[in-house]
Amino acid sequence: MGHSVLVVEDDTEIRELLRRYLERAGFAVVSTASGAQALDLLGRHVAALVVLDLGLPDVDGLEVLRAARSDGQVPVVVLTARGAVEDRIRGLELGADDYVTKPFSPTELVLRVQAVLQRTGGRAEPADLSYGDGRLRIDEARHEARWDGALLDLTPTEWGVLAALAAVPGRVYSRYELINRVRGYEFAGYERTIDSHVKNLRHKLGADGPRVVRTVQGVGYRLGLSRDR
């Protein structure tokens, strides 16, 4: 899995279009229609870059932009339908890394995202990662995981959960975040479905399952192994 991109866009069609194109380009996409949720996700450092629609229903997009730039300096590619000169100027003042005016070509947007990530130092390099003194190995390019050397037969959802948890070992992921990362869209009210996927994933990991995928009461899950050097 490549870099995580947070897509903040209240237009469902555009949001899903962006997801498809970004995922095809190898990015892991988290998306939301809500500015408030975007602020929450930014606070939890889920993204290497944000694609941000400025015209959001609940919070001023510029507010989200400001938060992204102040909190950990996450690069932002702004989408705007308004095309208003003052928005553009204001956005650039606040540190937007690039601008795309709607209607836009999704292919071009993906190229801009890649260019911004290269310019700002991040480059997606699929890696073969190792955790817990080599007991867990994750091959991002092949979407494969091995436990004690044996290939795990995972469903796409189980793989997605494991890859998300392994992205930042020890970090606690809420059910919302996991389902969003795996399914890619809001699953309000269905967050509990993640529990059954976690249960199956643990089962496949054998006796150590619950220690590899740890429950954090009242919050969600985290990887119980540290990454090997």
C-beta closer to Ca ion: residue 11 or 139: 11
Q: Which residues pair with 49 in a beta bridge?
A: 5
Question: Which segment (9-17, 120-128, 132-140, 170-178) binds Ca ion by CB under 5 A?
Answer: 9-17
Identify residues 55-84 at the interface with Ca ion (CB under 5 A).
Answer: 55
Task: In angstroms, give the least distance from the CB of 16 to Ca ion.
Answer: 14
Residue closer to Ca ion by CB (options 55, 106) is: 55
Q: Given the complex with Ca ion, which of 53 and 158 has the nearer CB atom?
A: 53
Could you tell me if 112 and 96 are in contact, meaning their C-beta atoms sit under 8 angstroms apart?
no
User: Is residue 73 exposed (0-12), middle (13-18) or buried (19+ Cβ within 10 Å)?
Assistant: exposed
* Residues within window 41-60 making contact with Ca ion, judged by CB under 5 A: 53, 55
Give the orientation angle of helix 156-167 with respect to helix 193-204, to 10 degrees.
90
Shorter beta-carbon distance to Ca ion: residue 10 or 191: 10
For the CB of residue 10, give the shortest distance to Ca ion in the complex, in Å. 5
Q: How far is the CB of 112 from Ca ion (least distance, A)?
A: 18
Least distance between Ca ion and beta carbon 36 (Å): 14
The Cα 127–Cα 131 span in angstroms is 13
Binding window for Ca ion (CB under 5 A); candidates: 10-18, 69-77, 127-135, 217-225: 10-18
Q: Are 190 and 182 in contact (CB under 8 A)?
A: no
Residue numbers 164-223 binding Ca ion by CB under 5 A: none
Q: Measured between alpha carbons, how far is 1 from 164 in angstroms, rounded to an integer?
A: 9
Report the residue number whose CB is nearest to Ca ion: 55
Residues written for the chain? 229
Interface with Ca ion includes 10 (CB under 5 A)?
Answer: yes
Least distance (Å) from Ca ion to the CB of residue 105? 18
Q: How many of the chain's residues bind Ca ion (CB under 5 A)?
A: 3
**In the bound complex, what is the minimum distance in angstroms from residue 66's beta carbon to Ca ion?**
18
Q: Using CB under 5 A as the criterion, which residues of the chain lie in contact with Ca ion when the complex forms?
A: 10, 53, 55
